[in-house]
Structure 1
Amino acid sequence: MDFGILVKGGIVMIPLLACSLVSMAILFERMYFYKKCHTDISTLRKAMTQYIPQKNWTALQGSCDMVGGKAAEMVGEALLHDKAIDVQEKFVDMKGAAIAGELQNYLSYLSTIVTLAPLMGLLGTVTGMISSFNVLATAEGQPFAITGGVSEALIATATGLCVAIIALVIHTYLKQRQNSLLDEIEEVGALYILTLVGDRHEA
């Protein structure tokens, strides 16, 4: 990185640099978290269809612990409650909403950065142009004196746009990962309840 360019961009480059660092930190944190949240649905599906009809809750709990991920965690915690369908449905809905909140964490910061970064770049543009006009008014006989302010304005604008674009790409990628995990949780929750209902009907 050319730190000379950062200096030429003016004071707004400091918050823009902070925004870029925050964006990357959120990316790596969410990627690590989402990886831990993933559940092997096929294995969990087999366990549920096998053990629920048998009422083998201990074996199903062991399968949830082995598979891991948020969907398996939801089923594992549901097994600790009364097996009545209405109780199970309420718990699955409540747990699913709680997990959705966990998956959403920090994404709002990226949305804010996407909006804020261009505005900070625009602020740098304004301060740079003000600097240029001040120099133009005082520096007689120095036709190139205003270029410093123009350079500051352009660098700030370009940096603000770059930070916003990067944050937008990161947000879109993480949102897709979040939606994929939510689909997993909804699928497992629905299958778990349907298997319980089917077991009650058979009984």
Structure 2
Amino acid sequence: MENILAGLELFQKGGLVMYVLLFCSLFVMVIGLERFQYFHRMDSGRAFARDFFIRMGKEDYTGALSLARESSGSVAEIIVQAVERAAEGQEVSSFMEIQSGIALAHFRRRLYYLNVIVTMAPLLGLLGTISGMISAFSVFNVQSAQAAAITGGVGEALIATAFGLCVAIMALAIHAFFVQWVENIITDMEQTFSLVEAKQVELTKAGAVYAFA
């Protein structure tokens, strides 16, 4: 309990900027949680891409298409839709390119805000520190020869910078995590979609067999 009270007291000493930084930290955590749930739901996974590639390499087109139909996520859904369009005689490559762009746009949604907070949080912390140092080195303190008050005020002012850096580091770590996840999804899309485009005739025949099985 004492540690909590000490932490709250230290937080209040950082000034009004601390509340803005607290909001930023909560915003980062909310975005991270929401994005993780979305990625977990809409990413077909590296295991799917690997199994699909293996089955296509073995010319098991029926098994590859069955895997795509039974799997969830954007990549699997686009593959199934592309095969269905190929069966109708429609263009596949342009369809997959458009759908992959739309899917990636959804994956990248809100990640820009994390990048903004990475830059903004240290600046807010620095603003709070400068504001605190101006108060610490005020004419009143200097004339009163309150050296302890001055040094104490500088120490309290640095709290905002430290907190701002912590928020920026957290946002940077979460942003990097999801950027790498997006890169993995792009790799999976390139590998699987190139196979679908090259083997669309075989997959279309497999789709016909699967439909009447």
Q: Please, what TM-score do these two structures have when normalized by structure 2?
A: 0.79
Q: Is the 8 A contact 1:85 1:197 kept in 2?
A: no
Q: Which residue of 2 aligns with 1:38?
A: 44
Percent identity of equivalent pairs: 36
SS of residue matched to 2:148? coil
Q: Which residue of 2 aligns with 1:11?
A: 16
Q: What is the 5 A alignment of 1:107-118?
A: 107-118=111-122
Q: Which runs of 4+ in 1 moved over 3 A?
A: 42-45, 47-52, 82-86, 135-139, 197-200
Q: Is the 8 A contact 2:141 2:150 kept in 1?
A: no
Q: Which residue of 2 aligns with 1:25?
A: 30
Unpaired runs of 5+ residues, structure 2, are: 205-213
Q: Is the 8 A contact 2:86 2:200 kept in 1?
A: no
Rounded to whole Å, the distance in 2 between the matches of 1:198 and 1:51 is 7
Root mean square deviation of aligned Cα: 2.7
Q: Which residue of 1 aligns with 2:181?
A: 177
Q: Is the 8 A contact 1:43 1:67 kept in 2?
A: no
Q: Does 2:154 correspond to 1:150? A: yes
Rounded to whole Å, the distance in 2 between the matches of 1:34 and 1:145 is 51
Rounded to whole Å, the distance in 1 between the matches of 2:101 and 2:87 is 20
Superposed CA deviations along residues 40-79 of structure 1, whole A, max 9, x for unmatched, are: 1244343794346xxx9xx93x543311121101112223
Q: Is the 8 A contact 1:135 1:145 kept in 2?
A: no
What is the identity, as a one-letter code, of the residue corresponding to 2:16?
Answer: I
What's the CA shift for 1:80? 3.7
What's the CA shift for 1:82? 4.6
Counting matched residue pairs gives 194
Q: Is the 8 A contact 1:12 1:121 kept in 2?
A: yes
Rounded to whole Å, the distance in 2 between the matches of 1:139 and 1:178 is 58
Q: Which residue of 2 aligns with 1:79?
A: 83
What is the identity, as a one-letter code, of the residue corresponding to 2:60?
Answer: Q
- With over 3 angstroms needed to count, the CA separation of the structure-2 counterparts of 1:183 and 1:85, relative to structure 1, is farther
Q: Which residue of 2 aligns with 1:50?
A: 60
What is the identity, as a one-letter code, of the residue corresponding to 1:178?
Answer: V
Q: Is the 8 A contact 1:44 1:72 kept in 2?
A: no
What's the CA shift for 1:137? 4.3
Rounded to whole Å, the distance in 2 between the matches of 1:117 and 1:111 is 10
- With over 3 angstroms needed to count, the CA separation of the structure-2 counterparts of 1:199 and 1:169, relative to structure 1, is closer
Superposed CA deviations along residues 5-33 of structure 1, whole A, max 9, x for unmatched, are: 11011111111111111222222222222
Q: Please, what TM-score do these two structures have when normalized by structure 1?
A: 0.82
SS of residue matched to 1:87? coil
Rounded to whole Å, the distance in 2 between the matches of 1:157 and 1:199 is 58
Match of 1:123 among 83, 104, 127: 127
What's the CA shift for 1:86? 6.9
Unpaired runs of 5+ residues, structure 1, are: none
What is the identity, as a one-letter code, of the residue corresponding to 1:173?
Answer: F
SS of residue matched to 1:96? helix
Q: Is the 8 A contact 2:56 2:195 kept in 1?
A: no
Q: Which residue of 2 aligns with 1:166?
A: 170
- With over 3 angstroms needed to count, the CA separation of the structure-2 counterparts of 1:150 and 1:47, relative to structure 1, is same
